[in-house]
Structure 1
Amino acid sequence: MGDAGPLGEELTGWVPPEPPAMAALEGRWARLERLSADTHAATLFRAFSGHDALWDYMPVGPFHSAAQYHRWAREAEAGLDPLHFAIQNRDTGQWGGTCALLRITPEAGSIELGYIALSPELQRTRAATEAFCLLIEWAFEAGYRRFEWKCNALNMPSRRAAERLGLSYEGVFRQAQVVKGRNRDTAWFAAIDKEWPALREAHRAWLRPENFDAAGRQMERLGDLTRLVRAASDPALQPG
């Protein structure tokens, strides 16, 4: 076939990271703990109750009884991929959301954040944002090369959240899945390790206490801080 073509960058000295095994992560505004049905399920069910739309784009839910949610949490806590976490807002002390690390592929240095369910009380809070920042930080500091976020392409709040965190838009995989009997086109976002130092500084700048007023409102927007880090922006989120 002729001369060899160009080859990818040689990863001299790179060592595949370990799978995640941490029991908890704690920041200034948020705490994550490995999901425990006995510890978290009752509180989380109350926080989610009456908000069935939270599950519209999820492969699970909605849950119509505390027992049903407890059974799901019991199954979820036993898994290592997805690895589920409960999210606590340290301002209120309440457990108000869950998320998971999944598609954990140490041999490629790739890991994904998903299964995100945030109660109304946790949505649009600095605790929710910090929870995601803590997981991104853990992954890159542990040696992962790529941090992914994938969502239903119709889920515009999730697409906005990914871009706000500084993850770059990588396109839409059409007819990628069937979820609850419906087609799912999947929007892909990711950050890579070369972007992490600048992304870390943007996250830290946004999370500084001085960036919030007495009512907890941000002074500088996270999306503005991460804009220069992103390799590509989501065209669906652009004005015009």
Structure 2
Amino acid sequence: MATASLDTGYDHNFCFPVPSALENDRVKLIPFIPSRHAKPFFDAVLPYPEVFNYLPGGPYATPEEVSTTFFVPVIHKNQGNVLFLLIDKTKKASPSSAQFEGEDGAIAGHLAYINSSPVNLATEIGWILILPPFQRTHVTSNAVGLMMHYALDLPDRSGLGLRRVCWQANALNLPSRRLAERMGFNLEGILRWDRVLPRNKQEFGNGVKVRDGDSRGEDCVGRDTAMLSHCWDDWESRGRDSVDAIMARVG
């Protein structure tokens, strides 16, 4: 894994040091900067509105909405969150991404560290969005693996040395849960009625009708959440070697 120090031209407002890139020979993760990345990301995701099914936000109507309804209020204003744009270095960028600051490769999605805590040495990998052409390829496993390395490796390996990385998914989102388990995350339990979903996400609720008189109304359904984790002792005992093997073999 290669890392580089942060370009100080943009304040990501994150509670941990932000690398300018996490990358290997297959993928690259760069911190999301709206002025550079919102338009190319919007162009790349526009044909695939289904990728937002299990995310609280999206789809977006304009590139500006990427910033105003998601990046600024959800990511940038919270010091526990930082978003990375995901690039597949093995593919060429589409013509619509020609303005994409000279990065070699194609936009494949985004991922984030969220709910991070320096006090508790913990973070979560979330807001995982992988565009359909890059699903079931090397892209997701390598991106998640790079983020696990940076979070769980000790500083002498260029990591943060955290104790816990968690992963939360809609309990119905079996592909997300299977991915987490394949990367060594352990299921800790199902959080019942964990979240209230927006009105446009009704079909992704827990299937249980809310009671009459609910303060959010029956059209804001509930979500059950699968909670998984990968902790430092998992990482040191077997996790790092297992993740490295997955990253190396996924085609």
Q: TM-score range by the shorter chain?
A: 0.7 to 0.9
Q: What's the TM-score once normalised by structure 2's chain length?
A: 0.72
1:62 and 2:59 correspond: yes
Q: What is the distance in 1 between the residues matched to 2:117 and 2:135? A: 29
Q: What's the TM-score once normalised by structure 1's chain length?
A: 0.75
Q: Give 1:184's aligned residue.
A: 223
Q: Is the Cα contact below 8 Å between 1:55 and 1:117 reproduced in 2?
A: yes
* 1:61-91 CA-partner distances (Å, limit 9, x unpaired): 1112233235446526634332111000010
Superposition deviation, residue 162 in structure 1: 0.7
What code does the residue aligned with 1:126 have?
A: H
Q: Give 1:195's aligned residue.
A: 234
Q: Give structure 2 stretches of 5+ with no counterpart.
A: 1-14, 92-104, 154-159, 199-219
Q: What is the distance in 1 between the residues matched to 2:175 and 2:245? A: 23
Q: What is the distance in 2 between the residues matched to 1:122 and 1:20? A: 28
Task: Say which SS state the counterpart of residue 21 (structure 1) adopts.
Answer: coil
* 1:191-235 CA-partner distances (Å, limit 9, x unpaired): 111111311111222233xx36xxx3xxxxxxxxxxxxxxxxxxx
* 1:137-188 CA-partner distances (Å, limit 9, x unpaired): 1111111111100011111111111111110011101001102122110101
What code does the residue aligned with 2:221 have?
A: R
Q: Is the Cα contact below 8 Å between 1:86 and 1:95 reproduced in 2?
A: yes
1:37 and 2:52 correspond: no
Q: What is the distance in 1 between the residues matched to 2:180 and 2:191? A: 16
1:206 and 2:246 correspond: yes
Q: Give 2:82's aligned residue.
A: 83
Q: What is the distance in 2 between the residues matched to 1:56 and 1:102? A: 19
Q: What is the distance in 2 between the residues matched to 1:163 and 1:74? A: 28
Q: Is the Cα contact below 8 Å between 2:170 and 2:223 reproduced in 1?
A: yes
Task: Say which SS state the counterpart of residue 54 (structure 2) adopts.
Answer: coil
After TM superposition, the structure 1 stretch with the greater mean CA deviation from structure 2, 32-41 or 168-177, is 32-41
Task: Say which SS state the counterpart of residue 133 (structure 2) adopts.
Answer: coil
Q: Give 1:26's aligned residue.
A: 23
Describe the shift of the 1:20–1:190 C-alpha distance in structure 2 as closer, same or farther (beyond 3 A). farther
What code does the residue aligned with 1:166 have?
A: G
Q: Is the Cα contact below 8 Å between 2:80 and 2:117 reproduced in 1?
A: no
Identity among equivalent positions (%) equals 29
Task: Say which SS state the counterpart of residue 41 (structure 2) adopts.
Answer: helix
* 1:17-66 CA-partner distances (Å, limit 9, x unpaired): x7242222111211001011222222221221132221122111111223
* C-alpha RMSD over aligned residues: 1.8
1:46 and 2:58 correspond: no
Q: Is the Cα contact below 8 Å between 1:88 and 1:96 reproduced in 2?
A: yes
Q: Give 1:220's aligned residue.
A: none
Q: Give structure 1 stretches of 5+ with no counterpart.
A: 1-17, 217-240
